[in-house]
Structure 1
């Protein structure tokens, strides 16, 4: 269901009825794809094609949350706050985004034909002071952009093109409101006022009103949601028949004309943005269903309200024509929903963007997780995290936006914490856009260990335009493998560029560990430079290493379902443990006492056999959550095999597990592990 629908759209009952109507069609013909896949490389690492990356730590991913201002949903929390109080609240939202390792905020700055900046086109928003046209005493948009960029968070400026007011009385609008000066532009429908999308002068005006913010402020993207023509009310036609008669020449029906009006709005807006600031992206977050396969063979296997027909949004065409830089459909249903299955819609949208340069994000219904009145699926704390796990099977999905900020903060039933643990353990860079070129590599001039951690200092590269820097930390010393930078396992964070160089303090560096540090530069379109030179910081402690065998007293635990064997001579020690794979939580665990928090190399030993499992899941309980690494136990046995390097917490606990939960056949083996501090 669209955002704000319950508050601003009386036709909710109709929408629900349309969504939950008949049975879901079971198939549709495949649509031919004649466009080459020209999407920019999402991981600019020279050896990417041969690198094995961890899907739980993607290097490129948008992680955002909507911050809604209409009706004070998120920010400001109420009207009439002082500038200082408003600013403190907003900083709190950015703090939350950082805590959850997000890298973007989508902030509503034009909720209803009004503005969160001193616009020359429209009055100040009533959601700031309580009075439309009331000056809040500062420039909120300038403040918001600066604060986001100080944390190197992307700022996506969220506009609503046509909504004027949630009432129908023009006299209640500010005296200088364009709808009062041009009363013929406004249409009353369902208790609300809208600009009439069919009037060319209206379309030109709303574009210029939004472009005012694009030209004057350093925003990263223009963002629209799903409000074009209003959602339909049962038995009530949108009153634009006279407008159609005046401007609809060449169209045989009013529906095609309305769609063309919205298409022109989208197409022209993109052209205006490109002409003003080519690096500013244009993204739309539409209703999750374009058309159902029962209506159109190109549609999804769903049975819900169709945005193409209901609100005249031909979202598929916008993508296929390349009129947007990203699409973020609001897929606000659970996995397995009878009328609108999340899994089916992610599949459909992934197919839709294939062959284009359009990035696919998913609008997540975080507001549903654990909320009263939602269906049973949303009372399961794993529902939301399962969405992001499913996304991994569709590489075209490059991120998510959560609605809304207050629900991210509420973290009901721990659903958001679960997402952060399972999917946001490391920072991430935004996906690279088209055009532009990567800047030159920076020069890492120093890396000094102090009481607060390791402080890095670098100089900007000699060529190219640098907007931000990415900082990497690798354990130990020695040569850097390009694959070490292919995902975010070693990404510490990003820093906004300022002046001729930059600085970063790694407060998480363990005193006893040796590290290698590197820095890369990023341009406005997130193209990444080659890595800088390497600086090594040595540790102060001695080497720690421990081997835990399956026979180690107190170091190994497994249920009776795990058998014991000494059949293969390539085992470690006297024997090893084995179990049949099954979709059940029944891991065998290796425990150890680690002397300090820091980076550790984890190695595993097992006897290999052609009949063993090709994808045995090894679980590593890191300081940032449990990580899964799969091992082909058919080969490579009888020796220590490096599982990876991980940040592990000090203390005695279960560190490495061997899980039975795998879909591949053959015994999973638990024999021995070796943990070495770096």
Structure 2
């Protein structure tokens, strides 16, 4: 069963020492990531909120064919088209989505200056007419500016919604090669059985892949056309010419589509290994009544009707993601949503293929739909059901205009129940990439517009974007604090070596800890940055510097690293034997003004640690030494209030020069402007 919205829609349709009486740090000294690093193993043991997942694909389709979504009509000026498109992206961000799927080759035409095919008629009204700008370059740049993935949606074989070749642009490849085409059901298609056709449509799509910074190639469910009752698809002569070795025309047709999928995936990854390849097929592969491997359904079978062996594509790993169009309600007698999510989840199990679900948002509250779709809870119930199947990594809503329409409040309810916080895009196995170095959060300043954050890019790795986190209160950061999305404020695209973000939602009386992570283009996440603390007092500057803060701590190799004590701040701390030498460990900070600051220190405690550890405070009037008994601790301890000079420099040191026995420890400091 495919939805009856016309043939242009996406089918029926994302850390050893001894002595000095101290508790010895166990094992050899190790170097670990910064204080707010979230080890994968630690995250795996965390209790997370399923309503605020750390990673989840969230997208909507934007159909250009027949001006379904964008542009809203033909003949708009470039400025009007661009304004409309920006509004769709703003809608996606408002709904806390992280991707858009935009149709750029709806019918053997192009939304970019293609050397293969004419400009799309859905831009200007006339096929082949230049729209006055490069829509694809514009679309990708605008999506990335909002840190949305751009999935380029192509239709491989459709040529026109009519059968008259003379109505096509004069330079159209179909007019130059009329033998490539087949008329069927009142429409014109490229013949999937002709090898030259398969090569041509791949070349036409690969032109966009090579020339533009897209994140994925996306196909919908149109391969061989959906059958017209009583009318055979007229490719018997093509079968006779190219079908040697196949016992029947159906197997030959499926092989033609298999080759298209397999070859296209290989070409994409050869050109740009990071670009994903995804297909959104009709929701039923085969029914169990026909094939024991099929789903417990009784609807149209894409394997047989449109020759799409989608199960094979998944099991062979020819695609990176599969997004079946499950446009039926829970409990549908012929195609139960719950059964199909189960079947597709089992199908992707054991593979690296991601499973997204194509959602029939267009049905919610629409006239003429089943009664189930008049319930505002139907759509949100789909995503609740998905939580029982971990292989489901997200959803794509069809389509943008229906997301905006939000009939009966179904979309608003889905967003409130499932998109409450932002989410990172799930990692795609096998496509390479690596987490960049952690950024250095240089400032967090409260102002009239919220808390303004600034940071510097890490020294290594390729950073494409950043994720910004806000934790309530002060204290150490627990790894579990970043295990899901409950503290994720948002993401921002990388630009140059610095970054900025303003938290406009910070309460005036709130005390918060901010952290930033870096992401590569495939969304591998770095260790977290240093923490910046913003207290309840308006405009107060506060910074936490840990021994592992990038650029914020320096110590000689005579200082070991340990994670022995659970009372540490962050992942580890530094320790050294007392000795009459000038060998301090220093914590540095960038202070915004010469002013009065409260200085606090954090260190783990042990009865055998040093009872007279010298802390050095580099004040504006000279260095002050404060002796601290490190036999008790595990919390913030105030050293005092000092006049400190503006600028970035070493501010707090921990010295080894003491006659007392036991390790001296350097862990973390907090400096707050008063």
TM-score (norm 1): 0.74
Distance 2:44 2:349 in 1: 19
Superposed counterparts of 1:40-119, under 5 Å: 45-119=40-114
1:248 equivalent in alignment to 2:243: yes
1:522 equivalent in alignment to 2:519: yes
Distance 2:342 2:512 in 1: 41
Deviation per CA, 1:517-564: give whole Å up to 9, x if none. 0011111111111111111111128xxxxxxxxxxxxxxxxxxxxxxx
Is the contact between residue 63 and residue 102 of structure 2 (CA under 8 Å) also seen in structure 1? yes
SS at match of 1:230: coil
Relative to structure 1, the CA distance from residue 44 to residue 470 in structure 2 (aligned partners, 3 Å threshold; closer, same or farther) is: farther
1:429 equivalent in alignment to 2:428: no
**Cα RMSD, aligned residues only:** 1.5
Is the contact between residue 331 and residue 363 of structure 1 (CA under 8 Å) also seen in structure 2? yes
Larger Rg: 2
SS at match of 2:368: coil
SS at match of 1:531: coil
**Aligned mate of 1:538, from 527, 531, 535:** 535
Is the contact between residue 45 and residue 482 of structure 1 (CA under 8 Å) also seen in structure 2? no
Distance 1:532 1:338 in 2: 52
**Aligned mate of 1:339, from 331, 334, 337:** 334
2:144 corresponding residue in structure 1: 149
- Deviation of the 1:460 alpha carbon: 0.9
- Deviation of the 1:501 alpha carbon: 1.9
- Deviation of the 1:9 alpha carbon: 7.8
1:510 equivalent in alignment to 2:507: yes
Superposed counterparts of 1:162-311, under 5 Å: 162-311=157-306
- Deviation of the 1:414 alpha carbon: 0.3
Relative to structure 1, the CA distance from residue 191 to residue 9 in structure 2 (aligned partners, 3 Å threshold; closer, same or farther) is: farther
SS at match of 1:94: helix
SS at match of 2:330: coil
Relative to structure 1, the CA distance from residue 451 to residue 372 in structure 2 (aligned partners, 3 Å threshold; closer, same or farther) is: same
Is the contact between residue 44 and residue 528 of structure 1 (CA under 8 Å) also seen in structure 2? no
SS at match of 1:356: coil
Deviation per CA, 1:628-656: give whole Å up to 9, x if none. xxxxxxxxxxxxxxxxxxxxxxxxxxxxx
Is the contact between residue 427 and residue 491 of structure 1 (CA under 8 Å) also seen in structure 2? yes
SS at match of 1:8: coil
SS at match of 1:458: strand
Higher RCO structure (Cα 8 Å, ≥6 apart): 2
1:362 equivalent in alignment to 2:357: yes
Mean CA deviation greater in 404-413 or 446-455: 446-455
Deviation per CA, 1:157-182: give whole Å up to 9, x if none. 00000000000000000000000010
In structure 1, runs of 5+ residues without a counterpart are: 17-42, 542-678
Superposed counterparts of 1:375-524, under 5 Å: 375-434=370-429, 435-524=432-521
SS at match of 1:52: coil
Deviation per CA, 1:421-460: give whole Å up to 9, x if none. 0000000000012222111111111111111111111111
Deviation per CA, 1:592-613: give whole Å up to 9, x if none. xxxxxxxxxxxxxxxxxxxxxx
Distance 1:372 1:254 in 2: 40
- Deviation of the 1:409 alpha carbon: 0.4
2:323 corresponding residue in structure 1: 328
2:5 corresponding residue in structure 1: 6
Deviation per CA, 1:233-252: give whole Å up to 9, x if none. 11111011111111111111
Distance 2:441 2:315 in 1: 43
Distance 2:52 2:208 in 1: 35
2:544 corresponding residue in structure 1: none
Deviation per CA, 1:147-206: give whole Å up to 9, x if none. 101000111000000000000000000000000010100000000000000000000000
Is the contact between residue 197 and residue 229 of structure 1 (CA under 8 Å) also seen in structure 2? yes
SS at match of 1:493: strand
1:603 corresponding residue in structure 2: none
Distance 1:325 1:443 in 2: 33
SS at match of 1:494: strand
Distance 1:53 1:501 in 2: 31
SS at match of 1:108: strand
- Deviation of the 1:49 alpha carbon: 2.0
SS at match of 1:47: helix
Distance 1:53 1:60 in 2: 12
Is the contact between residue 471 and residue 517 of structure 1 (CA under 8 Å) also seen in structure 2? yes
Is the contact between residue 361 and residue 399 of structure 2 (CA under 8 Å) also seen in structure 1? yes
Superposed counterparts of 1:121-132, under 5 Å: 121-132=116-127
- Deviation of the 1:462 alpha carbon: 1.1
Aligned residues: 511
SS at match of 1:117: coil
Deviation per CA, 1:569-627: give whole Å up to 9, x if none. xxxxxxxxxxxxxxxxxxxxxxxxxxxxxxxxxxxxxxxxxxxxxxxxxxxxxxxxxxx
- Deviation of the 1:2 alpha carbon: 4.4
SS at match of 1:7: coil
Distance 1:467 1:152 in 2: 9
SS at match of 1:363: strand
Distance 1:459 1:8 in 2: 50
SS at match of 1:408: helix
Is the contact between residue 45 and residue 483 of structure 1 (CA under 8 Å) also seen in structure 2? no
